[in-house]
Structure 1
Amino acid sequence: MGRLRRTQLSEHEVVALLVEHGLDDDESGEWIERYRRLGYLDDRRTAEQLVRIQHERRGRGSAFVRQELARRGIADDIAAEALAELDEEAEIEVASRIAERRAGQLRGLDRQTAERRLSAFLQRRGYSGSVVRQAVQAALDADR
């Protein structure tokens, strides 16, 4: 219960915690229902919060966020709903901001090397190829 108050957990994570503490399936099912009734468990709310935190605060792309939702045990349909609020324009904006900050560290490199490193950096953060291309071009053009 204390962990649910501190952080937003998915039903999958709560079941794993309950099993870890020695509860069987029936007992965990009862606890899950109780947590739902009390408003502690809501996978939709959890997914929306994860999307907001990972994308807006941490600058992660939709591919990374999708993997994080899957890792946390969020159902595919709920994850797709939460990710639908991310449009490509918003991703390009966040990726461009990140790329511009990073481009300052790459000033001493030739353009091709800077493009390659900046592209790899953004791809590791979960951005798609089209978003990466646009953000890299904008950042390097602004920096030069």
Structure 2
Amino acid sequence: MDAEPDQESVARAIALRLLTGAARSRAQLAEAMARKEVPDAVAEKVLDRFTEVGLIDDEEFARMLVRTRHAERGLSRRAIAVELRRKGIDDELAAAALDEVDSDDEEIAARALVRRKLAATSTLDVQTRARRTYAALGRKGYPPGLVSRLVREELAAIDSTDETLEGLDGAVSPY
């Protein structure tokens, strides 16, 4: 007859398996343990120990997530905040991590995305290019006012004739 597995060993195995692939928040690990029906008291004990030895660090996890999502994926602070909340990072830690990205950094990233999207749609008409650029940056969480300004500036830089930008006045709604 098989012996009942030790719940603490099960909890440790779950946490170690998940942490091997990538950093995780404490909430993500607790959720995984709950799915495997690890008792809350056992999960808390294991999570406390992992935090104590430095295997779980929500503050560093939040900072790393902000850096990578902003630099590699070009996400806005708003979109990153939503992701942090979904991963169980409390608002105070999330705000501290998001402070690493200021509005200038966000504008630089948005401008780079606008340039890439406009270059990728160079064979299309201006209205379509603008609409697709608005949509792409909207999905990444950028505010409509910023996107509108950057699209106008970049289109003006590409084609300095006012005829090209005439149709954008109210015809294309941000998002």
User: Is the structural similarity TM-score above 0.5?
Assistant: yes
C-alpha distance in 2 between matches for 1:135 and 1:46:
31
Offset from partner CA, 1:69-89 (integer Å, 9 cap, x none): 011011011111111111111
The residue aligned with 1:38 is 53
Offset from partner CA, 1:23-54 (integer Å, 9 cap, x none): 10110011111110121111111111110111
Is the CA contact 1:11–1:41 (under 8 Å) kept in the aligned structure 2? yes
Is the CA contact 1:104–1:143 (under 8 Å) kept in the aligned structure 2? no
Is the CA contact 1:99–1:118 (under 8 Å) kept in the aligned structure 2? yes
**What is the Cα deviation at residue 119 of structure 1?**
1.3
Q: Give the residue type in structure 1 aligned to 2:76.
A: G
SS at match of 1:95: helix
Q: Give the residue type in structure 2 aligned to 1:51.
A: V
C-alpha distance in 1 between matches for 2:21 and 2:153:
39
Which structure has the greater CA radius of gyration? 2
- Structure 1: stretches of 5+ with no match in the other structure: none
State the 4+ residue runs in structure 1 displaced beyond 4 angstroms: none
Is the CA contact 1:88–1:131 (under 8 Å) kept in the aligned structure 2? no
Identical residues among aligned pairs (%): 31
2:126 pairs, out of 97, 111, 128, with 111
2:70 pairs, out of 23, 41, 55, with 55
Q: Give the residue type in structure 1 aligned to 2:94.
A: A
C-alpha distance in 1 between matches for 2:105 and 2:152:
17
Is the CA contact 1:96–1:138 (under 8 Å) kept in the aligned structure 2? no
TM (norm. structure 2) is 0.76
The residue aligned with 2:99 is 84
The residue aligned with 1:26 is 41
**RMSD value over aligned CA atoms?**
1.5
C-alpha distance in 2 between matches for 1:19 and 1:107:
50
Matched, 1:73 2:88: yes
TM (norm. structure 1) is 0.91
C-alpha distance in 1 between matches for 2:110 and 2:48:
40
More helix by share: 1
